[in-house]
């Protein structure tokens, strides 16, 4: 006699960058094992790869994984974790007053992504020359990660965020240019121009949770912003 099959609940989540609603299911034990192996590796590329594979399976292939931004991946992953493991988790937070750690129970439903639709993706660098920006995709982040130096990671992030370079007469798609050509363009920027591009990246959305709590040791009231998925992985 065949063993019974468990029914699988389904839920809805919104992709932050597009607003598209997608259906998803909780992840299964075999998929959780994959996550655990990736987490134990401490390899950023392996962790992102495992999250990609998980989200693709749990959204029934309805999401084009390679077109997601990193904050899309983070947000959908937290939604999956909430429905798969539990909607609450305990975080060890360090008090800003006495440095003591407090175990604070939080709800994963409080994780949000605030996408500012008014952010200007067009940056004028000099008369008639500028760049249009985009948020790096998941594959970009995988290419940027690994054992590279902080400088190489920063350059990779900026390179992946520039969509086009334009003049008063032409528009150059960065994907159609060589890495060397793009790096030479970035290297030719002044510090002020470089800062304008970096500022765009510093405003990049992230899955985050705002937490207020009272330290269990000294009683100081703390306000902390937790970003990314590392705390929930």
Over residues 52-84, the pLDDT tens digits come to 999 999 999 999 999 999 999 999 999 999 999
Specify whether 15 is located in the same domain as 92. yes
Q: Say what the pLDDT of residue 232 is.
A: 64
Q: Round to whole Å and give the CA distance between 10 and 83.
A: 9
Specify whether 89 is located in the same domain as 20. yes
5 occurs within a structural domain: no
Q: Say what the pLDDT of residue 233 is.
A: 59
Specify whether 197 is located in the same domain as 214. no
Q: Say what the pLDDT of residue 106 is.
A: 93
44 occurs within a structural domain: yes
Give the mean model confidence (pLDDT) for residues 82-106: 93
Specify whether 52 is located in the same domain as 97. yes
233 occurs within a structural domain: no
146-149 contacts, C-beta under 8 A, 24 or more apart = 146/43, 146/44, 146/45
Specify whether 169 is located in the same domain as 193. yes
Specify whether 135 is located in the same domain as 195. yes
**pTM as predicted:** 0.86
Q: Say what the pLDDT of residue 6 is.
A: 84
- Measured CA to CA in angstroms, residue 184 lies from 141, 159, 178, 187, 233 at distances of 21, 11, 10, 5, 38
Predicted confidence band of residue 162 (pLDDT cuts 50, 70, 90):
very high
Which tokens go with 84? 């798969």
Q: Say what the pLDDT of residue 158 is.
A: 94
Task: Examine the pLDDT at 1 and tell me if it is beyond 80.
Answer: no
Q: Round to whole Å and give the CA distance between 209 and 106.
A: 9
Specify whether 16 is located in the same domain as 106. yes
Specify whether 26 is located in the same domain as 95. yes
Over residues 163-201, the pLDDT tens digits come to 999 999 999 999 999 999 999 999 999 999 999 999 999
Question: 72 lies in which domain range?
Answer: 11-112+207-227
Q: Say what the pLDDT of residue 42 is.
A: 85
Over residues 2-44, the pLDDT tens digits come to 888 888 899 999 999 999 999 999 999 999 999 999 989 888 8
User: Helix (H, G, I), strand (E, B), or coil: what is residue 166?
Assistant: strand
Q: Say what the pLDDT of residue 142 is.
A: 85
Specify whether 78 is located in the same domain as 145. no
Count other C-beta atoms under 10 Å from residue 153's C-beta. 15
6 occurs within a structural domain: no
Number of domains in the chain: 2
1 occurs within a structural domain: no
Q: Say what the pLDDT of residue 231 is.
A: 66
28 occurs within a structural domain: yes
Predicted confidence band of residue 125 (pLDDT cuts 50, 70, 90):
very high
Name the residue with higher pLDDT: 145 or 111: 111
Specify whether 89 is located in the same domain as 17. yes
Specify whether 107 is located in the same domain as 16. yes
Specify whether 46 is located in the same domain as 61. yes
């Amino acid at each position: 006699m065949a063993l019974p099959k468990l029914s699988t609940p389904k839920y809805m989540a919104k992709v932050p960058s597009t607003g598209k609603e997608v259906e998803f299911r909780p992840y299964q034990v075999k998929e959780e094992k994959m996550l655990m192996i990736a987490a134990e590796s401490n390899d950023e590329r392996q962790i992102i790869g495992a999250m990609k594979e998980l989200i693709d399976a749990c959204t029934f292939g309805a999401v084009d994984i390679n077109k997601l931004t990193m904050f899309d991946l983070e947000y959908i992953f937290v939604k999956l974790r909430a429905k798969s493991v539990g909607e609450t988790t305990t975080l060890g937070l360090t008090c800003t007053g006495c440095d003591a750690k407090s175990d604070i129970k939080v709800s994963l439903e409080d994780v949000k992504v605030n996408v500012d639709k008014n952010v200007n993706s067009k940056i004028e660098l000099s008369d008639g020359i500028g760049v249009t920006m985009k948020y790096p995709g998941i594959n970009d982040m995988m290419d940027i990660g690994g054992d590279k130096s902080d400088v190489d990671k920063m350059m990779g992030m900026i390179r992946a965020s520039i969509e086009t370079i334009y003049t008063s007469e032409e528009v150059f798609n960065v994907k159609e240019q060589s890495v060397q050509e793009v790096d030479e363009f970035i290297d030719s920027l002044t510090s002020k121009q470089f800062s304008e591009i970096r500022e765009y990246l510093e405003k990049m959305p992230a899955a985050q949770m705002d937490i207020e709590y009272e330290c269990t040791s000294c009683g100081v009231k703390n306000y902390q912003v937790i970003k990314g998925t590392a705390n929930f992985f």
